[in-house]
Each structure stands twice: as structure tokens, then as C-alpha cells.
Structure 1
Amino acid sequence: MSDVGRLAGGTPERRGLADTLELDKRLFGMVAAFVLLCLGFWVWTGGTFLSPRNIFNIAVQTVAVGIMATGMVFVIVTRQIDLSVGALLAMCSATMAMTQAYVLPGVVGLDSPLIMPVTVVVGLVVGTAIGALHGWLIGYQGIPSFIVTLGGLFVWRNLNWYITNGQSVALTNERVLDFGGTEGVLGRGPSWVVGGLLALGLALALLGARRAKRRHGFAVKPAWAEGLLIAVIAGAVLGFVAVLNAYPIAATKLRRQFEARGEVMPEGFTAYHGLPVSVLLLIVVAAVMTVVARRTRFGRYIFATGGNPDAAELSGINTRWLTVKVFALMGFLCGLAALVSQARLQSHGNDIGTLDELRVIAAAVIGGTALAGGIGTIYGAILGALIMQSLQSGMGMVGVDTPFQNIVVGAVLVVAVWIDTIYRKRTGALK
């Protein structure tokens, strides 16, 4: 065949590895930046940054912002904003702390098993109700979300002060403290089980997506590429579990646990933290929110409304009621994050959640959620939260003071949005 014939026949286009694996190039860039960030701080701190103890702390500290960031994705996708999430977290935390420390002990007794579930329900109900109120004011009364949630920031932040009389409230219920991460851990064996199930679930999800593509006649990745991607993801999950399983529990803490049970700790006994309950909670939230975003009518309506609100309304979507549900969900997640935050600190303080609204918005935006609406991912927001927490943790370890840490985080946010804007223009996603 002549050269012309070969050209006319359409020689196969050469594809790079990223194209063959069908990777989201923006996500790949974020992961690469995160890896470089970790390696840089690892060298700078002489290996301390990637120690099991520090990775455990970063994971636990990421949870509250990560949980709220998943809800903020839905809010921003619908072309709204929520500036009140930090104050709402404080409001939920105040009601839960007062319920757990003062209200319930006088009603059901100090050691009642009802204290933990009732406390959690109170916090979630308060958060959901306030979020729904915000959504009603925005959706049905036509008040811009910026104004409603800015007002909410002031109202809930200061109402939380009145609820507690301006005092910190110590948490004493052990089941509530389990959600903080340092007290509630699974240990080595259960952590391996959870890690294995998570890796298996992700592998089955990828294989299921592959079968669905084939069933509908779409092109699929080569089998080796699919296998490589599954191996990398499973390796990352199991590697993370292995690191947490290498973090030993302090001997003094173990001794106190044995003494609380009326036992004597055996000589040379050791135990390891493993997967924290709070991180497991974040994983569950991420999985549920991803399913909601991709597999439910509610999720499809959110992205349709963000893409074109007028067209969505003309197609029969009740965008006002959708706004109420989105903000109610955001409030529910704030209540969940409040539980994790106060449990990690083992108390409620009036400054809890301060500036979390900015960290949550930054996590969602750094993770690829477009402020113009219609675009965003749950895993991107969690990765954004992880990058921000790792950056702050690393700067703290090398002696950078807090004001300069905030300067760096602000600069990173602006640069991330700038890079994202350029990327979307080049790919045609932004006109």
C-alpha cells in the first residue's frame, strides 16, 4: 500500500499513557502535586512528615473539612455559595455538647447508652433544619445565597456563644469521643478487613463501569490498563492502611485502658491504632455522596440546574425545592462534621469551626468544582481538603508561623483557580 493509501486508511493515532488509561488529567495533576508536596516536606523534615504518626494526624484533621466539602460541591455546582458552614458547625457542636453534658445526664443518667445516639441525632437535626431554612430563604424568597449565609455566619456563630454562656464544654461520654479519631480506632485486624473490602469494592466498581461501557457499545481501556489502574488504587488503599497500622498506641494510654477494665496490662504488650472511626466515616460519606451525584435523580437535577438553571426549570425541575434540599444536606453534613470536630478536641469551644467556611470552599474549588456551576466531583473536593491540610501540617512542622501559613493557603487557592481556568479554556469546557 502506498503512503497515500496508508494515510487514507487512517493509521492508528498514537496515544500517551494518560490517554490509554483514560485518566482525568486535572485529577492526575492534583495527585502529582500532592505527591510532590509530600516528598518535599518529607525531605525538609528529615522523614518526619511521612511518619505513621503524622499521616494519622493529617488524616484525622482532614475529616471535618472533607465531610463539609462534599456538601459544598453540591452547593457550588448549583451556582450558590454557603459562607455559614463554620458557624453552623459551631452551632451544632454547642447543642450537642450541652445535650451530652447537661441535658441528658439529668434525664437518662450519666452512663446511659442513649446519650451518644440522642446527642448525634440532636446535632444532625439542628444542622439540617438550619440548612433547610437557608435554602427556603434562597430558593423561595429570592434572597442571594451570599447574603443569607453571610448573615447566618454572624447569627449562628454568636448564638452558639449564648447557648454555652461563652464557656467551653468538656465532653465525657466515651462513645461520643470515639468519633474524634484519636480515641476511636479499629486496630490492626479490623483495619485490614476494611481496607481489603474497600480495595475490592473500588475494583468491582471499575470493572462494573467497564462492563457497562461494553454493553452500550462504548470503547473501553485495554485489559492491561484496567488492571494497572486497579492495582495502583488497591495499592494506595492498602498502603494507607499499612501506615496507620504501624502507628503504636502509647503505653501509658494502654495502661489506663486496662486499669479502667480492672485489669493489669501484660508486660511488653503493644497495640496499634489502625483506621480511625472518623476516617471511616469520611469514606462512607464520600461513597454515599458519589452515588448520589452519579446514580440518583437528585444528583442529576443538581448538575442539570448548575449547567443551565433556566433550561432545568423549563424541563420540569423544581429548582426552588432543589435549593432547599441542597442546603438541608449541607446543614446535615455540618452537624456530622461538628460531631467529629468536638470529639477530636474532646470539648466544645466557642472558636470551634472558625474559618472553616473558607477552608471548605477552598477544598471544593481546589478539587475542581467550578464557581460558575455545573462541574464538580466529590473525590476532588476530598483531595483538595487533604492537600490543604497536608500543606498546613508541613508548614507547621518546619516552623512557619500561622499568619504566613494562611498567606500560602490563600495564594494556593488563587493559583489553583487560575490553573483550572486555563485548563478549562484549553479543553473547551469554559468559553
Structure 2
Amino acid sequence: MADNSLATPSLGARASNLSPIKRFFQATEIDTRLLGMVLALGLIWIAFHILSNGLFLTPRNLWNLSVQAASVSVMATGMVLVIVTRNIDLSVGSILGFVGMIMAVLQARILPPIIGFEHPMMWVIALSAGIIVGAAIGAFQGAIIAFLGVPAFIVTLGGLLVWRGAAWWVTSGATVAPMDTTFRLMGGGADGSIGATASWVVGILACILIVLSIINSRRQRRRFGFPLRPMWAEYFLSLSGCAAVLGAVWVANSYYMPANLARRYAEANGIEWPEGGLQIALGIAIPVLIAIGIAMVMSFLTNRTRFGRYVFALGGNPEAAELAGIKVKWVTVKIFALMGALCAIAAAISTARLNAATNAQGTLDELYTIAAAVIGGTSLAGGVGTIAGAVLGAVVMQSLNSGMVLLGLDTPLQSIVIGIVLVIAVWLDTVYRARAK
């Protein structure tokens, strides 16, 4: 990484006329919209921390916030592809509730008489069945949209009602519990975390991955003759990315297991309980790792595969995409099938966290998922959206919810605030697109 960056004289002359801030963003290629969201999130956190008398920016609240945002962030990554193609999916919350009920019934009623409760394969069968059912539901809705020409708004609005009713019909409204012990790990909690040591290992591996990806990106640019970023920009991106990752790990490791759970843990593992008690760091929660893993896979899918290029081509200009030979209808079916599978993963996280399934599970999650994608920069006009922005949008949404709960605001007022934020986000997107033309 000791070579000089390639740039034409005209580009260098043009850059010299820019202000230092603009030259910085041009050199680092940082997404200014994403950076604006990060700054807005920081302001939201600081405001809630002050208003809550120092309760918001604590390891405990930030750890809980990350766990609570996991299921919505998983669905938001799929909603990006749906909205990019100028569609919408209003049924994601209902699919989550229905698939969650299916997985719960499998674990609590159907599988125990066959293989026994707490069988090692219980969670695998339940999760696999849930993903298959979710993908099938999504593919079914996508086929109606693509091949029958029914607008996505109407199809998924019908799905919102159908699958919510189906979730009630499975058990006639009864709550189903408990879940398999291994399955419950996907919901987080004291057992659903990887601990301090494993968290640092994950953080170090993530830093190595960040550095390797930047090195590989530079090699690819040189290989195809694209301009290279200055070396100081490469070092800045590497150091800032690693600092953010290690900072997040430090916060996760700063939240210790509650005293009663720590005592139970000590008894189960034969650890002598000292006079001052034990401080056992929970570390990163498993649902957070799942959400991060899904985001990485979805980012690769959208940025590095033919399917991802087809999705953005379809969103940019459907007619041109079809004339170019893209099978638009099948791409639409695949997008909704993927959305259904992601709903199933989110259902597993939600059901595991509650250790139960109810027919009301996932209510209003469609609002939070769409809002997360839109706040994250996904344009309702289609063709524009990022996975990282959607995940950040989910964190923003959960931060608003958590902050308002800490302030003791009533639920109706919370809904009012979320609605206002969604409208403002769409308005800002409209302004941004108008200025970009």
C-alpha cells in the first residue's frame, strides 16, 4: 500500500479548487448522506441522554437497544430491495407473526412427541421450517405482483390482513410457550451472548476484515485502471472503521450480568461466589451478530452479484431493464421470496427473545421496517438505497422508541413522533433528489 494514487491533471486541478472539507470527502469517498445519519443519530442519543438524566448512554441501555433493533434491521435489509424496485411490502409484520407462531407450535406441540423436547435438532428443524414457509409466502405474493399485475401495495395489504388472521387461526389466539433452549439463544439475554473474550475476538476479526477489504478494493481499482484514493484516506478509513468496531465491543463488554443471573451462572459452573459479587460481561448478543451477518450477506448480494445489479437496474428503469433481457418478473418473485425468508429470521429472533409466540407478535413492524429503510436513504421513487443505511435507520427508529420509553411518554405520543419522523425523512429524500438533478 505504498503506491501513489492515480489521477488525471484535470481532476487534480479541479480538486485544488475545492474547499478542504470537500476535498476530504472526495478523497475518502464517504457517503455524505450516511454520515449525516450518523451525526443525526449522535444528536438523538445526546438529547435523550440529557433529558433522561444520564440514563440513555449507558452500557445497559445501549446493549438492550442493539438487541431490540436486531429483528427490524434484518427485515429492513430486505425492504431496501423491495423499495428500490418501486414496490412496497406491508405484510412483513404479519408474516413475522404467522411464521413465529409456526415455529413455536413446532417446538412446543408437534416435534416433542416425535423427537423429544430439547432435542439437539429441534431448533434446526423449527428455524428451517420457518424460513421455508416465509420464503414460500413471499414468493406467492411476488408471483401475484409479477405475473398477475396486481399492485404490490394491494397484494401486501391483503397479506397484512391474511397472515395476521392466520397467526390467530393456528392456535385460536392462544400464546405458545416455551421455546427450545438452544433456539432461545437467538433472542439474546444472559445466555444469548458470547461473553467478553469472544467479543474481543470478533472485534479483532472484524478489524482484519475491514483492512483486507480496503486493500482488496485498492488492488481492484489498480487492476481496472480506476483512480486510487490517497494513502492517507486509506489509513483514515481503516483506523476509523476499526475504532468504531472496537468501541462497540467495549460498550458491549461494559454491560455486566445482573447479580441474580450472575449468582445462578456461578452455581451452574461451580464458581465460588465472592463477597463483592461477580462482574461477568455479557459481550455481544447473538441476535446482534445475526443482524450484522445478514447485513454483510445482503451488502454482498446487492453490490457484488448479478442479481443485485438486476435489482437496481429494475428500480432505475423497469422498461429498459426488460429490454436489456432481464427477467423482470422472476427478479420480482425472488425479491419478495427473499423478503419472506428475512421475515422468518426476524420472527426467530423475536420469538426467541420473548420465549413465546402470540398472534399479536410483529404488530406495526411493517411501519418500523419501511421507516428504517426510508430513513436510511432508500428512495420511494426507486433505484436508490443501501443496506448500511437501512441498518442505521433501524437503530435510529429503536433509539427513538427507547428514548421515549425512558422519558415515560405515552404510546400514542410515541406513534405520533415516529410518524412525523417518517414524513420528514421522505421530504428530505425528495429535497435531496431534486438538488441532485
TM over 0.5: yes
Tell me, in whole angstroms, the C-alpha distance in 1 between the residues paired with 2:51 and 2:216: 42
CA contact (8 A) 2:179 2:352 kept: no
Larger deviation: 307-316 or 267-276? 267-276
Q: Which amino acid in 1 is paired with 2:250?
A: A
2:219 is matched with 211
2:119 is matched with 112
Deviations 1:269-322 (A, max 9, x none): 331110001000011100000000011111111111111111111111111111
After superposition, residues 255-274 of structure 1 pair within 5 angstroms as 255-260=263-268, 263=270, 265-267=272-274, 268-274=277-283
CA contact (8 A) 1:171 1:177 kept: no
Q: 1:193 aligns with which of 173, 187, 201?
A: 201
1:177 aligns with 2:184: yes
Tell me, in whole angstroms, the C-alpha distance in 1 between the residues paired with 2:54 and 2:31: 30
CA contact (8 A) 1:181 1:277 kept: yes
After superposition, residues 57-206 of structure 1 pair within 5 angstroms as 57-182=64-189, 183-206=191-214
CA contact (8 A) 1:363 1:382 kept: yes
Tell me, in whole angstroms, the C-alpha distance in 1 between the residues paired with 2:245 and 2:156: 37
1:14 aligns with 2:18: yes
After superposition, residues 282-301 of structure 1 pair within 5 angstroms as 282-301=291-310
Deviation at 1:421, TM superposition (A): 1.3
Tell me, in whole angstroms, the C-alpha distance in 1 between the residues paired with 2:271 and 2:376: 48
Residues matched between the structures, number: 420
Deviation at 1:147, TM superposition (A): 0.9
TM-aligned CA distance change 1:143 to 1:257, over 3 Å:
same
Q: 1:247 aligns with which of 232, 249, 255?
A: 255
Tell me, in whole angstroms, the C-alpha distance in 2 between the residues paired with 1:229 and 1:44: 33
Deviations 1:147-173 (A, max 9, x none): 111111111001110102211112241
Q: 1:311 aligns with which of 320, 340, 347?
A: 320
Tell me, in whole angstroms, the C-alpha distance in 1 between the residues paired with 2:378 and 2:45: 23
CA contact (8 A) 2:266 2:273 kept: no
Deviation at 1:126, TM superposition (A): 0.8
CA contact (8 A) 1:171 1:343 kept: no
Deviation at 1:203, TM superposition (A): 2.3
Q: Which amino acid in 2 is paired with 1:298?
A: F
Tell me, in whole angstroms, the C-alpha distance in 1 between the residues paired with 2:160 and 2:47: 36
Deviation at 1:10, TM superposition (A): 5.2
Tell me, in whole angstroms, the C-alpha distance in 2 between the residues paired with 1:425 and 1:211: 35
Q: 1:389 aligns with which of 388, 392, 398?
A: 398
Deviation at 1:201, TM superposition (A): 0.9
| Runs of 4+ displaced beyond 4 Å | 258-261
Deviation at 1:110, TM superposition (A): 1.3
Deviation at 1:244, TM superposition (A): 0.6
1:357 aligns with 2:361: no
Tell me, in whole angstroms, the C-alpha distance in 2 between the residues paired with 1:388 and 1:270: 31
1:3 is matched with none
Q: Which amino acid in 2 is paired with 1:233?
A: G
Q: Which amino acid in 1 is paired with 2:294?
A: V
CA contact (8 A) 1:42 1:48 kept: yes
Deviations 1:55-80 (A, max 9, x none): 01100000000000000001111111
Deviations 1:303-349 (A, max 9, x none): 11111111111111111111111100000000000000011111111
CA contact (8 A) 1:255 1:265 kept: no
CA contact (8 A) 2:118 2:181 kept: no
Q: Which amino acid in 2 is paired with 1:336?
A: I
Q: 1:409 aligns with which of 413, 418, 421?
A: 418
TM-aligned CA distance change 1:218 to 1:404, over 3 Å:
same
1:236 is matched with 244
Deviation at 1:142, TM superposition (A): 1.2
Deviations 1:208-266 (A, max 9, x none): 222222332222222112211221111111101101101111221133345456x4643
Deviations 1:370-429 (A, max 9, x none): 11111110000000010111011111111221111111111111111111211121122x
Tell me, in whole angstroms, the C-alpha distance in 1 between the residues paired with 2:99 and 2:124: 15
Tell me, in whole angstroms, the C-alpha distance in 2 between the residues paired with 1:171 and 1:232: 43
Tell me, in whole angstroms, the C-alpha distance in 1 between the residues paired with 2:436 and 2:127: 45
Tell me, in whole angstroms, the C-alpha distance in 1 between the residues paired with 2:198 and 2:271: 24
2:345 is matched with 336
Identity %: 49
Larger deviation: 148-157 or 36-45? 36-45
Deviations 1:352-375 (A, max 9, x none): 100001110111011011111111
2:6 is matched with none
2:233 is matched with 225
SS in 1 for 2:111: helix
2:288 is matched with 279
Tell me, in whole angstroms, the C-alpha distance in 1 between the residues paired with 2:407 and 2:208: 38
TM-aligned CA distance change 1:315 to 1:105, over 3 Å:
same
1:4 is matched with none
Tell me, in whole angstroms, the C-alpha distance in 2 between the residues paired with 1:221 and 1:278: 35
Q: Which amino acid in 2 is paired with 1:169?
A: V
Deviation at 1:47, TM superposition (A): 2.2
Q: 1:367 aligns with which of 376, 392, 396?
A: 376
CA contact (8 A) 1:254 1:265 kept: no
1:302 is matched with 311
Tell me, in whole angstroms, the C-alpha distance in 1 between the residues paired with 2:140 and 2:169: 20
2:355 is matched with 346
